């Protein structure tokens, strides 16, 4: 890597992409309402690089809360409710919240363990003379790395507290680790950000993390990039930063909109390809941060110089937006501005195969369909039956043109058919014993999602896709995370981008639409009468649902509107 002339990377106009920790020796960095970076500094708005605050919990925050400590004569319930409110302020290492604790426990309590997000009231009941239980309607939890997962609906989450007398007053002697926030307050104090890594096929893959909204955000994002991807993506993506690369001063200064990122000497081990990855990762990660318009990379205070053709082979963003594809009177085509446009080539033969489901390959070079025979791959070379197992569900494509087919009778065995027709199988142990109704691969090929029934209705499981050096799928991660819980019987699922997905679930004659995402809150989008197929299309405006009477429904500001009729099938892409 060359040093010399400073290479400032200004951000290009923001590219379309779907919605939205520093650690290295510090537990809970970028995560509890006062996450720390070991030796991290606050970011001055101007001036030279200086040592900043050792405790980032004191860095400037967008919103400040000033709770009060315990009052004289407070009951045990008063202490618990006051303690929960006080934990909204991380000032001085949660000094106000620690006033509710005994001296011994105040030194032991760990507010950086994570965040439990709960809505509604918080009823309290005594459990003996010196203990009590707080009941919470938890909706999500955020761990110490900033990863969010939804909490299964059902019985209240119960948090136990114990008390001791300190003089004439009660104080809390034992409490759960971490903090509790209402979702509205969490949304005010925290923001979702996307870290970008490099996946198979040289594409950028986002990972959602949650951070406290404050001036130290840029430092935390860069430190998180240096730390690498989270658990579910470690075998799926990589980073261009050489191993051992760290921030020199554990701080990133932003001056006139330019983030000055000073790295240790390990960065010099990056070759041109890795350097191109680093530049794209940093640009994509910082592009949405308010007040940051570009960045500069340094090694031990010396600017890094761009190498010739430094952007050649740089990883690319995934194009996610597309027009809906439908089957009308046996013809497959797109709907553009309300006009049906038949597709040519192989698409003209799709209707003759009597498909129940159709998925179009990236680049529209082929289609995979499900009919009475099984999964059929259709291209200009003709039609090829690639899977004839029983109880097959709608096939999927990944961005490299591989067809994924799944049998609900043995969902743990995924069949992969390459563009040349060669077939292999990989294991998905997290689907053992489950009967998915839909399985879809994310647009970047890094994740696979499955919609399955649950005791409470429906859930979406998301796992990572592991590929070899040529991008060929060889396995999925051994485990998957439940990224969405919703009511109603599962009907259909599709990705709406690299991180978000849309789910159809049945509630009587209506089908509820729910938008969820990896590491994101879910949101109900209303109901469509008789909804049976959904197509994500890359964003909410491209979202379509095929409902009763062969009508196609499009989302409006509130609710859904019939946009086309006489649609026999709504296809998917990828």
Residues 310 and 334 in one domain: no
Q: Dihedral angle at the C-alpha atoms of 484, 110, 65, 182, nearest 10 degrees? A: 20
Tens of pLDDT, residues 115-143:
999 998 899 999 999 999 999 999 999 99
Tens of pLDDT, residues 140-160:
999 999 999 999 988 899 999
Choosing from 284, 317, 350, the residue where a domain stops is: 317
pLDDT value at position 9? 78
**The whole model's pTM is what?**
0.88
- Secondary structure string (H, E, C) spanning 448-480: EEEEEEECCEEEEEEEEEEECCCCCEEEECCCC
Mean pLDDT of 471-484: 96
Choosing from 286, 301, 317, the residue where a domain stops is: 317
Residues 350 and 277 in one domain: no
Residues 341 and 286 in one domain: no
Residues 301 and 329 in one domain: no
C-alpha distances out from residue 19 to 12, 273, 387, 525, Å: 18, 28, 35, 16
Q: Quote the CA–CA distance of 127 and 295 in Å, as a whole number.
A: 55
Q: Under the phi-then-psi rule, with left for phi > 0, alpha for psi from -120 to 50, and beta for the rest, what region is 325? A: beta
Residues 282 and 147 in one domain: yes
Residues 272 and 403 in one domain: no
Higher-pLDDT residue of 241 and 321 is 241
CATH of the domain at 413: 2.120.10.30
Mean pLDDT of 457-471: 96
Q: Quote the CA–CA distance of 461 and 481 in Å, as a whole number.
A: 5
Cα dihedral across residues 94, 95, 98, 104: positive or negative: positive
Lowest mean pLDDT among 169-173, 278-282, 304-308, 361-365: 304-308
Residue 283: give the domain boundaries. Answer: 1-317
pLDDT at residue 6 greater than cutoff 70: no
Tens of pLDDT, residues 505-562:
998 888 999 999 999 999 999 999 999 999 998 888 899 999 998 999 999 988 899 9
Q: Quote the CA–CA distance of 403 and 383 in Å, as a whole number.
A: 13
pLDDT value at position 309? 62
Residues 311 and 351 in one domain: no
Residues 122 and 223 in one domain: yes
Choosing from 268, 286, 317, the residue where a domain stops is: 317
Residues 494, 512 contacting (CB under 8 angstroms): no
Tens of pLDDT, residues 63-99:
667 899 999 999 999 999 999 999 999 888 999 999 9
Residues 301 and 399 in one domain: no
pLDDT value at position 33? 32
pLDDT value at position 49? 30
Nearest-Å Rg of the Cα atoms of the chain is 26
Residues 477 and 544 in one domain: yes
Count helices and strands in the chain by DSSP H and E runs: 6, 40
Residues 329 and 181 in one domain: no
Tens of pLDDT, residues 376-405:
999 999 999 999 999 999 999 999 999 999
Beta bridge partners of 124: 134
Higher-pLDDT residue of 250 and 59 is 250
Residues 225, 195 contacting (CB under 8 angstroms): yes
Mean pLDDT of 187-193: 92
pLDDT mean across residues, the chain: 88
Residues 303 and 345 in one domain: no
Tens of pLDDT, residues 295-314:
999 999 999 987 666 566 89
pLDDT value at position 64? 66
Total structural domains within the chain: 2
pLDDT at residue 456 greater than cutoff 90: no
Percentage, residues of the chain above pLDDT 70: 89
pLDDT value at position 229? 96
**Coil, helix or strand at residue 218:** helix
Lowest mean pLDDT among 2-6, 36-40, 205-209, 469-473: 36-40
Tens of pLDDT, residues 14-25:
433 333 333 333
Alpha helices, DSSP H, located in 179-296: 183-189, 217-227, 272-286
Higher-pLDDT residue of 448 and 312 is 448
Tens of pLDDT, residues 14-61:
433 333 333 333 233 333 333 222 222 222 222 333 333 334 443 455
Mean pLDDT of 344-355: 96
Q: What share of the chain is helix, strand, coil (3-state, %, to 5)?
A: 15, 40, 45
Q: Quote the CA–CA distance of 198 and 206 in Å, as a whole number.
A: 9
Q: Quote the CA–CA distance of 40 and 233 in Å, as a whole number.
A: 26
Q: How confident is the model at residue 492 (pLDDT cuts 50, 70, 90)?
A: very high
Q: How remote is the C-alpha of 479 from its chain's centroid? A: 16
Percentage, residues of the chain above pLDDT 90: 78
């Amino acid at each position: 890597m060359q040093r010399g002339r400073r290479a400032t990377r200004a951000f290009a106009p923001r590219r379309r992409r779907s919605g939205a920790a520093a650690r290295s020796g510090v537990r809970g960095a970028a995560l509890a309402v006062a996450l720390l970076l070991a030796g991290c500094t606050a970011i001055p708005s101007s001036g030279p690089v200086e040592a900043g605050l050792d405790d980032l919990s004191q860095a400037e925050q967008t919103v400040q809360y000033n709770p009060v400590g315990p009052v004289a004569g407070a009951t045990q319930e008063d202490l618990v409710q006051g303690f929960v409110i006080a934990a909204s302020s991380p000032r001085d290492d949660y000094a106000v919240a620690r006033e509710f604790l005994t001296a011994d426990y105040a030194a032991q309590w760990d507010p950086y363990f994570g965040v439990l997000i709960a809505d509604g009231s918080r009823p309290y009941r005594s459990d003996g003379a010196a203990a009590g239980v707080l009941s919470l309607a938890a909706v999500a939890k955020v761990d110490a790395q900033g990863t969010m997962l939804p909490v299964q609906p059902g019985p209240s989450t119960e948090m136990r507290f114990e008390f001791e007398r300190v003089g004439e007053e009660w104080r809390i002697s034992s409490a759960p680790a971490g903090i509790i926030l209402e979702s509205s307050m969490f949304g005010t104090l925290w923001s979702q950000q996307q870290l970008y890594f490099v996946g198979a096929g040289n594409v950028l893959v986002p990972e959602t993390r949650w951070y406290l909204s404050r001036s130290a955000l840029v430092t935390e994002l860069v430190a998180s990039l240096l730390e690498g991807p989270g658990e579910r993506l470690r075998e799926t993506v990589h980073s261009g930063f050489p191993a051992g690369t760290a921030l020199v001063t554990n701080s990133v200064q932003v001056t006139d909109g330019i983030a000055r990122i000073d790295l240790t000497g390990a960065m010099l081990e990056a070759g041109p390809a890795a350097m191109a990855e680093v530049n794209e990762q940093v640009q994509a990660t910082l592009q949405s941060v308010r007040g940051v318009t570009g960045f500069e990379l340094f090694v031990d205070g010396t600017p890094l110089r761009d190498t010739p053709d430094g952007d050649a082979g740089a990883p690319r963003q995934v194009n996610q937006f597309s027009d809906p594809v439908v089957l009308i009177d046996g013809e497959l085509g797109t709907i553009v501005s309300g006009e049906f446009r038949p597709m040519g080539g192989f698409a003209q033969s799709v209707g003759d195969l009597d498909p129940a489901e159709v998925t179009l390959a990236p680049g529209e070079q082929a289609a995979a369909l499900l009919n009475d025979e099984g999964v059929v791959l259709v291209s200009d070379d003709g039609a090829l039956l690639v899977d004839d197992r029983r109880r097959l569900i709608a096939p999927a494509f990944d961005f490299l043109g591989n067809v994924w087919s799944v049998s609900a009778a043995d969902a743990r065995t995924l069949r992969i058919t390459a563009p040349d027709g060669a077939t292999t199988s990989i294991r998905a142990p997290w689907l053992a014993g489950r009967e998915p109704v839909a399985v879809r691969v994310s647009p970047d090929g890094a994740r696979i999602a499955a919609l399955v029934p649950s005791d409470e209705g429906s859930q979406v499981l998301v796992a990572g896709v592991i590929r070899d050096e040529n991008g060929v799928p060889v396995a999925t991660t051994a485990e998957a995370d439940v990224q969405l819980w919703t009511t109603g019987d599962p009907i259909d699922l599709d990705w709406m981008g690299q991180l978000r997905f849309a789910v159809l679930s049945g509630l009587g004659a209506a089908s509820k639409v729910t938008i969820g995402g990896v590491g994101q809150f879910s949101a109900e989008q209303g109901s469509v009468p008789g909804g049976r197929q959904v197509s994500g299309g890359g964003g909410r405006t491209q979202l379509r649902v095929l409902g009763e009477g062969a009508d196609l429904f499009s989302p409006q500001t509130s609710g859904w509107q019939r946009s086309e009729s006489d649609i026999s099938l709504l296809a998917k892409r990828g």
